[in-house]
C-alpha cells in the first residue's frame, strides 16, 4: 500500500510540473503552494490536537480530540471532551479497528468495518484523496491567522454527505489550519480545526494498541 501511494505521489508531482494534476488559480502564492505540496507529499506521520464538529440536517456535535496517524494507514483518535465521552478511543493497527469506552466496564470492542466519517477527519486521509483524486483545485484564502493555501479534492465513493474535502494550510508555517468535508450539495458536514499539529513524529507501534 505504501509503495503504491509513493508511486502515485511521484506521478502527481510530475504532473503538477505541467499543470495537469491541479487547477491552480492565479492569485495563489505559487512559491508557498510548492512548499506546502512538498511538505504534505513527504508526510510520513502526524500528531495533532483538533476540534471536530459533525453537522447533520438537524444539529451538530463538537468534540475535542487528540490524533496520531501514519500515511500507511494506522491511526489513533482519542476524544478528550466533552466530559461524557472523554476517553473514548479508536485505533487502527493496519489490520483491526479497536474501540475503547471507559464507561462500559473498560471493555475493548473490535470491528472490521471503518466509519468513513471518522476516517475523513485525519489529514492522512486527505493526502491520499488529494493524490488519487481526478479533480483537485488550489486556491487562496485569508483566515484570522493569516494567508492560507486551500487544497480541494474529491472523496471517493458515493457517500451522500461526503463528496469533497478542503484543507487550509498556512503560507507561513505550512501547517494545516482547518479542514472541511462537504456533501454533494456543497453543505459543510465535518469541520476540523487543528489547534496544534506536528509533521513526521515518531509514533511507536504501541500507540495503535489500546492498553487496559
The reported pLDDT for the residue numbered 134 is: 81
State how many domains the chain has.
Answer: 1
What is the span of the domain harbouring residue 74?
2-208
Rounded distance between C-alpha atoms, residue 76 and residue 169, angstroms:
22
The three-state secondary structure class of 174 is coil
| Nearest by Cα to 85 from 66, 58, 64 | 64
Alpha-carbon gap, residue 83 to 20, rounded angstroms: 47
pLDDT of residue 17: 37
Q: How many angstroms separate the Cα of 85 from the Cα of each of 56, 79, 110?
A: 19, 7, 18
Quick count: other Cβ atoms within 10 Å of Cβ 212? 8
Hey, CA dihedral for 195, 198, 199, 205, is it positive or negative?
Answer: negative
Decide if 90 contacts 144 (C-beta within 8 A): no
In whole angstroms, give the CA distance from residue 126 to residue 71. 10
Q: Cell match 474535502: residue? A: 165
First to last CA, the chain: 30
Q: What are phi and psi of 181, to 5 degrees?
A: -115, 135
Q: Which of 204, 201, 200 is nearest to 39 (CA)?
A: 200
What CATH number is associated with residue 124? 2.50.20.10
| Per-position pLDDT tens, the chain of length 212 | 444 444 444 434 434 433 335 677 668 999 999 999 999 999 999 999 999 999 999 999 999 999 999 999 999 999 999 999 999 999 999 999 999 998 886 678 888 788 889 999 999 999 999 999 888 999 999 999 899 999 999 999 888 899 999 999 999 999 999 999 999 999 999 999 999 999 999 999 999 998 76
What integer pLDDT is reported at residue 113 of this predicted model? Answer: 82
Residue 71's H or E segment, with its range, is none
CA distance 57 to 138: 29
* Sole residue written with cell 468495518: 113
Q: Please name which of 189, 131, 190 lies closest in space to residue 1, comparing C-alpha atoms.
A: 131
**What pLDDT was estimated at residue 22?**
64
Asked if residues 108 and 39 have their Cβ atoms less than 8 Å apart, the reply is: no
Q: Taking the model in full, what pTM does it have?
A: 0.87
What's the pLDDT at 212?
61
Round the CA-based radius of gyration of the chain to a whole number and report it: 17
Amino acid at each position: 500500500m505504501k509503495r503504491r501511494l509513493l508511486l502515485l505521489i511521484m506521478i502527481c508531482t510530475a504532473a503538477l510540473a505541467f499543470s495537469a494534476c491541479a487547477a491552480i488559480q492565479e492569485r495563489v502564492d505559487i512559491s508557498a503552494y510548492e512548499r506546502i505540496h512538498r511538505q504534505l507529499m513527504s508526510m510520513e506521520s502526524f500528531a495533532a490536537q483538533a476540534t471536530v464538529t459533525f453537522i447533520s440536517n438537524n444539529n451538530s456535535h463538537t468534540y475535542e480530540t487528540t490524533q496520531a496517524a501514519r500515511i500507511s494507514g494506522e491511526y489513533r483518535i482519542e476524544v478528550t471532551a466533552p466530559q461524557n465521552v472523554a476517553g473514548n478511543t479508536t485505533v487502527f493497527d493496519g489490520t483491526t479497528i479497536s474501540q475503547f469506552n471507559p464507561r462500559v466496564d473498560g471493555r475493548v470492542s473490535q470491528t472490521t468495518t471503518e466509519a468513513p466519517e471518522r476516517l475523513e477527519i485525519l489529514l492522512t486521509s486527505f493526502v491520499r484523496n488529494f493524490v488519487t483524486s481526478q479533480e483537485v483545485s488550489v486556491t487562496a484564502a485569508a483566515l484570522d491567522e493569516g494567508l492560507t493555501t486551500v487544497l480541494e479534492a474529491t472523496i471517493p465513493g458515493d457517500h451522500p454527505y461526503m463528496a469533497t474535502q478542503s484543507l487550509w494550510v498556512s503560507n507561513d508555517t505550512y501547517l494545516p489550519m482547518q479542514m472541511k468535508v462537504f456533501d454533494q450539495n456543497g453543505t459543510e458536514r465535518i469541520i476540523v480545526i487543528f489547534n496544534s499539529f506536528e509533521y513526521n513524529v515518531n509514533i511507536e507501534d504501541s500507540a495503535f494498541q489500546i492498553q487496559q
